Structures are given as C-alpha cells and as structure tokens.
Amino acid sequence: MKNYLLCFLFCVSLSDSVAQAPKRPNIIFIMSDDHAYQAISAYDQRLLSTPNIDRIAKSGILFTNASVTNSICAPSRATILTGKHSHLNGKVDNHFPFDTTNITFPQILQANGYQTAMFGKLHFGNKPKGFDQFKILPDQGNYYNPDFITKNEGNIKVNGYVTDIITDMTLDWLKKERSSEKPFMLMYLHKAPHRSWLMAERHLDEMTRKTYPEPKTLFDDYAGRTSPAKEAEMNILSSMGWAGDNKIYPATMDSLKIPEIGIDKRRFVAEMGRLTPSQKANFDRVYDRINAEFIKAYPSMSEQDKMRWKFQRYMQDYLGTLRAVDENVGRLLDYLEANNLMENTMIVYTSDQGFYLGEHGWFDKRFVYDESFKTPLMVSWPGQIKAGQKSDALVQNLDFAQTFLDAAGIPSPKDMQGQSLIPLMTGKSWKRDAVYYHYYEYPAEHMVNRHYAIVTKKYKLIHYYFSADTWELIDREKDPLELKNVYDDPEYASIRKTLHKQLDALRLKYKDNSTISNGYIDRFLNDAAAGKV
C-alpha cells in the first residue's frame, strides 16, 4: 500500500513538467465483453463482417497472439487498470468487489493532467476512481432500457438499446464535455456480445435467418485431455438454455416436454419483461416464427441435430449483437475523423477475453485453450504506428496500463507487471518468450477447474489443481485445435522438463505462489452459506 502511494505521489509530482510537453496523445480504449476474435473480419472472414472495427486494424497494428492473464470479466478489467496479475490486484474472480486501494492507470493519467471518462460496463461492484465523468452499467447491465450508475446524476434508466446508448453517451461527452485544453483518456466499454445475446431490433429479421459454418471441434468428446474439459458445464447441447439462450418459449418447451437447463425459463421471462410493448412486438414477431419452425422440427431431431440447431441459434444471436457494436464503433470513428481527432489519438479495440463459438462444443470462456485465452487486439495511432502491420508477439492485457502511461510520457509504478507495447508497435526492439495465466473462479457457474499455465508460441503447460490435480502439455504447432495432451508422451520428456523450469521461473517473477490459499474458496463457501451464490 505504501509503495502504491509513494509511486502515485511520484507520478503526480511529474505532472508539472509533463503537462508542458507538446502533443500528449488522446487515448481511446474500446472494449467489448466476450468478443471472440473469430467474430472480427480482420481476423477471420467466415462468420461476420466488421468493417468498422477493421478500420482500426487497417490504420494500425493487428495482434494475432494477444491474450489475457485470467479469462473472465472483472479480473481482466482489474488487470487492465492496474497492470498487475490477479493474485496481486486481488480481483481473482467476478464475485467480490474490486479493492479500490489499488492504484490504476486512469488515476495516474488524471493526476497528470488528462481528462478521463468511462462509459459502459465495468462490473466491479463499486465506482471507478480516477474519472472526471462516468456512466456505468450496474453489474452485468441489461441490453434493453438499461440502468446506469452515473457520477453526477445518480442512478438513471435510459430507454433504448444498450450499445446505441453507450455510444450516445460517449459522443455526447466528446461533443459537450471534452476540454480542448487537455488530452483525454476515454474508456468506451460495450456490454455486447455478452450472454443472453439480445440484438438490436433493427437486426432481428436479417440475423435470425442466417446459417453459419460449424467449427471442426463442435462434437469434441474431450477424450484427449484430462478431466476438466469434460467436466466443464459449457457444452452448447447440455448447458446452453433452450429458453434463456436460444429463445424457445417456456410454453414451447412444456408442450415438447423439453427439460429446463438451470433457471433457463426464468432468465428468458426476466429479459422479455424489460421490453417496452413496441420492442416486445418486434421480438414476438421473430420469436413466433422461430418457435413455430422449431415445434415442427424438434420431434425428429437426433442429439446431433439438436446440437447443430442450438449452435445456429447461438451464432445468430451472438453475431447479431455484434452488428450494433460494429455500427457504433463506426459512429465513433466517423466523429473523430470529422473533428480532426484521429491524428493525435491512440485507439485500441479489444475484448475482456476471448470466447468459444462452438469450438470444443463450447460457449463461454475461462479455459487457457486458445479461443478464450486469446483476445482480439488492434491499435491505431496515426503518425506513430505504421498502418497495416500484423504482429504475433505474446502481448497481454497486463500490458495496457504501462503502454498508456508510456504514450503519455509518464513513468510506470515499479510494481506494475506488464511491458509497454509502444516500442513493439513503433518498430523498436521488444521481447517476451512466454506468458503466464491463472484462472481461479471455481466452484462456480460453468465449473471450469482452477488452473495456471505457461504459454509460449510453441507450447502450453497447464496445471489443473483444485477438483482435479492434472497436467497437460499442448503442442500448439502440431495440434492447433488443442485436442491432445502429450504430457506423458516420452517424445516430449525434455520439452516438458524445460517448460516446468520456465513455469517455475515465471511464477517467481510474477510473485505467484497462490493456489487454493488465495482465500476465494472460503469467501465462496461463506457466500453460498448466506445464499448469495
């Protein structure tokens, strides 16, 4: 704590000199929630065209190996803000409030003369520090007619669609509140495409008629890996709700005698209950059609057919929410262009983690396997970052804080654990051979066992350690679909030994000796006893 403060004061004391430096850049951090890189056309054209998000990649750099340190929402956000791994910033899981004694990069930027604002999803259980303005969703927020916690107006409810509203708020701030005297740092944080995947009314007709290619591993039987993959509760067929997720009416489920998965029907009813009569009429029209077709098809469906049907419905809704994200990113970029704000602005597009779009039969995230461990990342900064670059460097969400401080010419606190990406993005030398990963939220929704891992460009060495105690070694080059654990294969004996050594060194470097002792389990059990989980 003392260190944080010392560093904070040190950085503040720099503000006088730094404030005079010419042209400190504006920083716009755009982040969506659960946006898989497979659903961005700059990465992959099979699923969705995202021409506006792609504009950022085209005018800057696209990272193909960006990853998170802990693939879950609030912990990822805490790592982004603090530049520290979860075990040091304390936000190991989604359940408990963020420790606001942490010093975050927005606080440092603000103290050094930046105007700061945040709009959208934070998911911390408390208000952000270091912001001149904020309007944030409480907890996960809602897609329709959402509530907001605001800095100056208390709690408000705004009618409309969340992705449009967050953008309206952001543009309003740029137009009416932005100071021409100061550089700004703006966090523009979408709720979409988070579950329960409600798209904007204007996309319903078009997006619910599309079909999508299935991933190669949709019918993964998890045979090649240790038990956590099989035990996770995120298989589309067995864990995705017919009502809450796929929008089959509870009455349709009853008439077809389809068993409910979790509190699936209640989730659907609650979502629909938020709609205004005119919004509801639009959804009813589309859902009536889907239900009528389903009632005809269901009696002759095999288990494989059901999986295929659910996958298609999932893709329609998930990708449907992203249509509005892309349109709204376009609105923001258009505004910046029209107002000469592109030139001296660093723009980042990323997600709080990746997401499974049917790979391994899954939805959700949490695992260190690629689709949730990796996250989309692209950065533009005209004049500083050359357009049209691609990098496969092992960068992480851990690096944002130091990157932004570096861009502003402010030294980073010594206890931040990332690395500024500016040398890398501007063609100077930058090196990292391996990254560290640690996921904790178990037992919890989706039941992904705790694990930590070292990831290099060639291998992953993973230790699952709570409900199971198993090791996995994945050869990323030979087995890009990550289906085969070669930990006990004699051919990999020496690689295994080297990776174990590297992993030990990385845990030491990042000061992580925590496994079950992080206290999460005790808090979880207490919460469960109090009926909060």
Which residue of 196, 208, 375, 485 would you call a contact of ligand SGN, by CB under 6 A?
196
Three-state SS string across 434-502, please? CEEEEECCCCCCCCCCCEEEEECCCEEEEEECCCCCEEEEEECCCCCCCCCCCCCCHHHHHHHHHHHHH
**Is the bond leading into 196 cis (omega within 30 degrees of zero)?**
yes
Helix (H, G, I), strand (E, B), or coil: what is residue 389? strand
Number of other CB atoms surrounding residue 528 within 10 Å: 11
Minimum Å gap between C-beta 509 and ligand SGN is 27
445 sits near ligand SGN (criterion: CB under 6 A): yes
Which of Ca ion, ligand SGN, none does 446 bind, CB closer than 5 to 8 A by kind? Answer: ligand SGN
What residues numbered 341-360 form the site for ligand SGN, per CB under 6 A?
Answer: none
371 sits near ligand SGN (criterion: CB under 6 A): no
371 sits near Ca ion (criterion: CB under 5 A): no
Minimum Å gap between C-beta 141 and ligand SGN is 10
Helices (H), 256-341: 264-273, 277-297, 303-338
Minimum Å gap between C-beta 125 and ligand SGN is 12
Number of other CB atoms surrounding residue 33 within 10 Å: 26
Stretch near ligand SGN under the rule CB under 6 A, chosen from 188-196, 319-327, 381-389, 476-484: 188-196
Contact 284, 204 (CB under 8 A): no
Classify the C-alpha dihedral 299-300-305-308 as positive or negative: negative
- Which residue number, 208 or 353, has a Cβ lying nearer to ligand SGN? 353
Which residue of 61, 73, 357, 408 would you call a contact of ligand SGN, by CB under 6 A?
73
Contact 70, 453 (CB under 8 A): no
Q: Which residues contact 512 (CB under 8 A, 6 or more apart)?
A: 85, 87, 436, 438, 452
Stretch near ligand SGN under the rule CB under 6 A, chosen from 4-12, 23-31, 192-200, 492-500: 192-200
The pair of three-digit structure tokens given for residue 503, joined into one six-digit string: 């992993």
- Which residue number, 245 or 352, has a Cβ lying nearer to Ca ion? 352
267 sits near ligand SGN (criterion: CB under 6 A): yes
Residue with tokens 């982004």: 80
34 sits near Ca ion (criterion: CB under 5 A): yes
Minimum Å gap between C-beta 279 and ligand SGN is 19
Q: How many residues bind Ca ion (CB under 5 A)?
A: 4
446 sits near ligand SGN (criterion: CB under 6 A): yes
94 sits near ligand SGN (criterion: CB under 6 A): yes
Which residue of 87, 194, 308, 323 would you call a contact of ligand SGN, by CB under 6 A?
194
- Which residue number, 170 or 196, has a Cβ lying nearer to ligand SGN? 196
The pair of three-digit structure tokens given for residue 182, joined into one six-digit string: 């100061």
Which residue of 29, 33, 218, 324 would you call a contact of Ca ion, by CB under 5 A?
33
What residues numbered 329-368 form the site for Ca ion, per CB under 5 A?
Answer: 352
Minimum Å gap between C-beta 401 and Ca ion is 19
CA distance 251 to 261: 15
Which residue of 24, 31, 34, 265 would you call a contact of ligand SGN, by CB under 6 A?
34
Please name the helix (run of DSSP H) or strand (run of DSSP E) that holds residue 397, with its range, or none.
Answer: none
Closest-by-Cβ residue to Ca ion is 73
Classify the C-alpha dihedral 215-244-317-57 as positive or negative: negative
Binding site for ligand SGN (CB under 6 A): 33-34, 72-73, 94, 123, 140, 194-196, 267, 364, 445-446
